[in-house]
Homo-oligomer: A and B are copies of this chain.
Amino acid sequence: MPGTEEIYPNGFSTWVDVEKVSESLEGETRPSHFRGVATVVCKLFNIVQPDRAYFGQKDAQQLVVIKKMASDLNMDLEIVGIPTVREPDGLAMSSRNTYLTKEERQAAVVLWKALCLARGQWSNGENDAAVLRREMISLIEREPFANIDYVSVADPETLQELDTVGDRAMVSLAVRIGKTRLIDNAILEQTAE
């Protein structure tokens, strides 16, 4: 693994900027975060020249940004998303989970519960994105340890917020549980009958 000074030598000044999909959601609290991600991933692709590269679906926006970069810049490789691995109660696995106290750890499952609620309502025919967001928010607000950063129902490729959920949507959320900021997401997708 190359060191920082090898990757960013003195005078380094080139950045890959994936506009639009980098700006909403996580990009709002971390304005140049995805520029750094796209640049270093572009560099690693050029060094390794892989046929396929695998990224976790847990960081859903990162996956969208990298797919968009690879497509826009005609990179000759396939970006593959890997399903999120979960604890038995549904909490997405994350190094941050170790920061949670016992009570917070129990409260943290509210992210997964909110995603399940949205999925369930959508399966029952609810396609009004505002309703889905409102129900999720209402559920999370009943959890005393939780503070919502955002709850989003967006197009899975452009990350534009939706009015109506059509064939596909990405439901994502960022919630502070105590001092720990957690994110999670689910893709709503019409499957063939």
Contacts and interface: CB of A to CB of B under 8 A. Distances in A.
A1 interface: no
Contact of A76 (B13, B16, B46, B68): B46
A161 to B, nearest CB: 16
A43 B12 contact: no
A47 interface: yes
Counting every copy of the chain, the complex holds: 2
A162 interface: no
Contact of A72 (B12, B20, B21): B12
Contacts of A109: none
A137 interface: no
A100 B18 CA distance: 41
Interface string A62-76: 000000110011111
Contacts of A158: 11
